[in-house]
Structure 1
Amino acid sequence: MAVIKANSNDVDMLARLIRAEAEGEGELGMLMVGNVGVNRILANCLDFKNIRTMRDMVYQSPGGYEAVQKPYFYQRARDRERRLAKRTINGERTRPATNALWFYRPTGNCPPTWWNQANSGRYKAHCFYVPSREDCPRVY
């Protein structure tokens, strides 16, 4: 059962986003980017107040995704990424992105905090960051 409302256009949009942000990280990395996106829709806290839809989340500005500024994001969604997007929409969570609202790719090690948010771990090139339970209880 879906944890957020999503129609087929939303699935395609998330599929394109996870591919554009993390294709080089493999399926697990793309699932984690999907986790972050779903969490941002669920959160309604901090930088993500009033982000209620897939479109709100993907095109959030400022604070959104760099991928939407690149042509690769606008290519058609593929079945592989659609399946991954559906898994995250249906609530599948993958550590270290389980409760994460942010990720980024540093040039070296993951800093212990990023914009005052705690590091929850690294997967390949991406570091993931979580809010406190007090600040964002809906992602826990």
Structure 2
Amino acid sequence: MLLLPDKTFAAPVLKMGSANGDVWDLQYRLQVLGYYQDKLDGKFGTNTYRAVKRFQRQYGVAPDGVAGPRTWKQLKRFSVSRHEMDMLAKLVYSEARGEPYVGQVAVAAVVMNRLQSNQFPKTVKDIIFEPYAFTAIQDGQFWLRPNRTAYRAAWEAVRGWDPSYGALYYFNPDTATSRWIWSRPQITKIGRHIFAK
């Protein structure tokens, strides 16, 4: 049987002088995490180099300033692309609008916690669209247009705020019918949602 390489983390090696769409993605991810402060321009210059090195130091990658496979792997575990940020905001809005702001951040944090867990798919899209994972996908509310609050909540969760305290699941106790979800160890309750491991 022929095994094909895992393309989940495939991205070109980016270094000083690189200029393409992947540099835009790199800069966006670094900006979301607070490492890149400049305007996104798609050009890998000195400020992008410095931001990459700071990220690498913080996330256990040799700080060479080159965005290679190990750097991309860590970036994709702990950050999101612009498209993924849109999906995360849609999920927050469709699952938690009307909830306290901290509860909206917690919903986004659950997705980020899943992204870092070996128990779930390796991309935000695959986590969100995993069958039966989120009610808003099943009932179509995911496709509603998110508001600014949903984007801000998603942004804060990606930057590391986790009011769910590491939860991998959440549910509304007034509507949950699954015995399995009730069996999960509960961590905290925010608004109408219980967050669980």
- TM value normalised by structure 1: 0.75
1:118 maps to 2:192: no
| Correspondences of 1:42-81 after superposition (within 5 Å) | 42-45=116-119, 48=120, 51-61=121-131, 63-81=132-150
Please name the residue that 2:86 is paired with: 12
Please name the residue that 2:108 is paired with: 34
2:171–2:181 Cα contact (<8 Å) kept: no
Question: Higher strand share goes to which structure?
Answer: 1
Structure 2: distance between partners of 1:100 and 1:7: 22
| Equivalent position SS for 2:78 | coil
Distance apart, 1:120 and its partner CA: 0.6
1:23–1:29 Cα contact (<8 Å) kept: no
1:13–1:77 Cα contact (<8 Å) kept: no
Which whole-Å deviations, capped at 9, do the CAs of 1:105-124 have from their partners, x for residues lacking one? 1129xxxx946431112112
Aligned-pair identity in percent equals: 26
Structure 2: distance between partners of 1:72 and 1:91: 26
Q: Where do 5+ consecutive residues of structure 1 fail to align? A: 131-140
Relative contact order (C-alpha < 8 Å, sep 6+): which is higher? Answer: 1
Higher alpha-carbon deviation: 76-85 or 118-127: 76-85
Which whole-Å deviations, capped at 9, do the CAs of 1:34-84 have from their partners, x for residues lacking one? 111110111112xx2xx11110110011x4111012333112333321121
Larger Rg: 2
Match of 2:194 among 121, 124, 127: 127
Query: What is the CA RMSD across the aligned residues, in angstroms?
Result: 2.1
Structure 2: distance between partners of 1:34 and 1:52: 16
2:108–2:157 Cα contact (<8 Å) kept: yes
Count of matched residue pairs: 119
Q: Where do 5+ consecutive residues of structure 2 fail to align? A: 1-32, 34-74
Structure 2: distance between partners of 1:116 and 1:67: 22
Structure 1: distance between partners of 2:107 and 2:125: 15
- TM value normalised by structure 2: 0.55
